[in-house]
A and B are shown apart, each in its own frame.
Chain A
């Protein structure tokens, strides 16, 4: 069990608790964090779970797969540390992480 903070585009913070192994998308959805849709349920098929990981935490989120990269490449608010939340499986090492949400999803 650890904590991850989601920060909405308007700076509203949501501090959530998570069990390692859950995806970032599912954590946001389970906590009704606005700004994360996750329409396809984590299939990397919809692109509605875009998140921007705080710089210092990005290295902990693993590598970006080819399908994810293609989806992200068309996301208007793409940043250096963008990820699709459903493709990031949390680990204990992510306790304390901060994740920013874009203004819009695709």
Chain B
């Protein structure tokens, strides 16, 4: 084959990772044909607003799109939307689509994302039980958020809590049921959990910890009327949102015989077990040089950073993925920004106090900063990004002392 011969790169999935990859390839003037096949009818869009300002009705649908569809098309990229990829034939390097057509690829990028974890329990198919993952889900839930209605949210992770904040603002009576002994347990430390607990309680949300859900009670016409609890009690509900995490979308890759382990396994260059197939975003379990271990992450930052890695790999640049993960969440007037992963810390240092509504928790391990959670304190997040990325050792006293300028620690 001559170098000038055009090849075709097909991207499977039309979410944030796919959209970011399309953009990066455009910016880098990628020479080959690019085709995106996405099951949803929309061009790639941002999901974060689905539980925040889009749910609240403050921004319109078009503003969710990473860019208008015509921008890709004008640049020569193809979007095949509303079409599902059914099968990958690795021997012939083709994929079969739900419209029965087949498509040839030279390079394939899997960006299939994740799907919501369903709660299997008695009554779980009743009407009025919602999940939140795409635009359609949000539109359906928003309609139900009517003042005075009772919304019960199963799961006190950040999505459930963002919905609680958005719904409370609309005058909905909200109850949050969390099985663990604190909120957002998977992603943050006890100080932040306590802060958000107080924040939601203060806003009138009935937050119940250590509360396991056993099922749903039926009301009229197959509609949900309540959530039943392990302690025998029932919480009455007009609407229920179940928000208990996501599962990586690996079926296509598994059927094609690609190594998967709760995520499509990729190396630090976003390569799967097949040299012509890459994978990026929520669907992957990746080797991250930053953690020096295999990791699965569900965040925009990861989707975008892996898209950057994949773009480099596609263009023969080989730039390994080694950035520190970061994340944000908005609840009420609280802007939470997080960098790093805090789970393995052996010391936590508080800067500022929760009462001031501007504070940060620095997570240290053996004296180095491994994560920072900042509430309404963007400077701590930005400083944290640098400290974490460079695994900087810092003196805990200096971090907590309000007289030290955080910027001087970088």
Q: Provide the B67-90 mask, 1 if CB < 8 A to any CB of A, else 0.
A: 110010001000000000000000
A19: shortest Cβ distance to chain B, in Å?
Answer: 11
A56 within 8 A of B: no
Q: Which residues of chain A have C-beta atoms less than 8 A from B23's C-beta? A: 29, 32
Interface size on A, residues (CB 8 A): 22
Q: How many residues of B contact A (CB 8 A)?
A: 30
Interface of chain B residues 10 through 25 with chain A (CB within 8 A): 23
Given A32-B27, A106-B382, A39-B75 contact (CB < 8 Å): no
Q: Is B215 an interface residue when CB atoms closer than 8 A count as contact?
A: no
The answer to whether B46 and A45 touch across the interface, beta carbons within 8 angstroms, is: no
User: Counting CB contacts under 8 A, is B26 at the interface?
Assistant: yes
Determine whether the beta carbon of B378 is less than 8 Å from that of A67: yes
Say how far A80's CB is from chain B's closest CB, in angstroms. 18
B44 CB to nearest A CB, Å? 11
Residues of A contacting B407 in the complex (Cβ-Cβ under 8 angstroms) = 73-74
- Indicate if the CB atoms of A74 and B386 lie closer than 8 Å: yes
The complex places the Cα of A41 from the Cα of B386 at a distance, in Å, of 21
User: Inside 8 A of A39's CB, which chain B residues have their CB?
Assistant: 300-301, 304
Task: Give B388-410 as 1s and 0s: 1 = Cβ < 8 Å from A's Cβ atoms.
Answer: 00000000000000000001001
**What 1/0 flags go to A23-41 for Cβ under 8 Å of B?**
0000001111110010111
B352 within 8 A of A: no
Which residues of A are interface residues toward B (Cβ below 8 A)? Answer: 29-34, 37, 39-41, 43-47, 67, 70-71, 73-75, 106
Residues of B within 8 A of A (CB): 23, 26-28, 46, 48-49, 66-68, 71, 75, 300-301, 304, 326, 328, 330, 335, 337, 376-379, 382-383, 385-386, 407, 410
